[in-house]
């Protein structure tokens, strides 16, 4: 396959259950069907408990027990693979290693010489704009810079797909926006499939070609929303705001209108005096 053809994900009738203390099955995911095209950027958004992080773990191969089918480029997923990278909310860097050596760890299964590793590491430091900090330690960097190191580490093996689990959730608003722009730039440069899980609807719409909206109890796909806005995007684009507001309606309180549909009269209330 060429670079443009790899990174196709097919999810069919996927369900995931966990046993409970009462020997009953707790269904976390139910009948998930999703087709992700090579090079596509998919955002998965949903409230806590909808199973979006569990779905990501299954796609990465960190869990292998499920019902249904998950395939990448026509092959069933079983276990982790260098073709599938992941970035977590916590950067998970080793504090006693420099930026360069933290990235080098991801290459421990490669057959490259140290000189070849250095070339690849330098390329990815340039990609995330951290070349000047190659010899620094995590404690000497900001949270956003450490997360960029984590992104470089996840890309150093040239994966076909990059999964991101709330990668910017612990960062301040300004840093988060800057890293969203960086991620968009990296995605366009690398031309690989990316899938991000997030609670942030605005982030999901800003980054994704499509937004998968999930519902909880059990986790399932409510709908998939297209974001027909070309990259790179501008945050002030009214089309993005309209799509965000439309998706937010999926998370509104279903009982809200029952209490606010008619203004109450003073005489409708009962008092104790």
Q: Are residues 4 and 14 in the same domain?
A: yes
267 pLDDT tier (thresholds 50, 70, 90): low
Domain of residue 197, residue span: 1-83+160-252
Give the N- to C-terminal CA distance of the chain in Å, as an integer.
Answer: 79
Q: 178-199: per-residue pLDDT in tens?
A: 999 999 999 999 899 999 999 9
pLDDT number for residue 254: 52
pLDDT number for residue 253: 64
262 pLDDT tier (thresholds 50, 70, 90): low
Residue 89 in any domain: the answer is no
Q: Are residues 242 and 180 in the same domain?
A: yes
Cα separation, 256 vs 254, whole angstroms: 6
Residue 267 in any domain: the answer is no
pLDDT number for residue 30: 94
Residue 258 in any domain: the answer is no
pLDDT number for residue 258: 45
Q: Are residues 43 and 175 in the same domain?
A: yes
Per the omega criterion (within 30 degrees of 0), is the bond before 232 cis?
yes
Residue 72, token pair as written in the block? 């990448």
Q: Are residues 78 and 112 in the same domain?
A: no
Residue 261 in any domain: the answer is no
pLDDT beyond 90 at 67: yes
Q: Are residues 220 and 236 in the same domain?
A: yes
Q: Are residues 151 and 181 in the same domain?
A: no
Residue 227 in any domain: the answer is yes
Q: Count how many domains the chain has.
A: 2
Helix (H) / strand (E) element for 258: namely helix 256-260
> What CATH code is carried by the domain that includes residue 65?
3.40.50.300
């Amino acid at each position: 396959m060429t670079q443009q053809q790899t990174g196709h994900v097919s999810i069919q009738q996927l369900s995931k259950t966990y046993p409970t203390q009462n020997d009953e099955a707790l269904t976390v995911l139910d009948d998930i069907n999703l087709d992700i095209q090579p090079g596509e950027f998919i955002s998965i958004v949903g409230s806590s408990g909808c199973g979006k992080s569990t779905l990501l773990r299954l796609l990465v191969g960190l869990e292998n027990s499920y019902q249904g089918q998950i395939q990448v480029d026509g092959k069933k997923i079983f276990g982790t693979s260098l073709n599938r990278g992941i970035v977590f909310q916590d950067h998970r860097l080793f504090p006693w290693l420099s930026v360069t050596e933290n990235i080098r760890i991801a290459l421990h299964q490669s057959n490259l010489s140290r000189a070849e590793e250095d070339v690849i590491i330098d390329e990815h430091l340039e990609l995330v704009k951290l070349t000047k900090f190659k010899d620094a330690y995590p404690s000497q960097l900001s949270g956003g810079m450490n997360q960029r190191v984590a992104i470089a580490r996840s890309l150093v093996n040239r994966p076909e797909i990059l999964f991101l689990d709330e990668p910017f959730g612990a960062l301040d608003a300004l840093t988060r926006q800057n890293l969203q722009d960086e991620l968009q730039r990296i995605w366009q440069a690398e031309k690989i499939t990316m899938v991000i899980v997030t609670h942030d609807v605005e982030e999901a719409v800003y980054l994704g070609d499509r937004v998968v909206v999930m519902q909880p109890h059990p986790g399932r796909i409510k709908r998939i929303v297209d974001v027909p806005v070309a990259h790179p995007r501008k945050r002030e684009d009214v089309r993005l705001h309209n799509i965000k507001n439309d998706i937010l309606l999926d998370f509104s309180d279903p009982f809200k209108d029952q209490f606010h549909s008619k203004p109450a009269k003073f005489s409708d209330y009962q008092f104790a005096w």
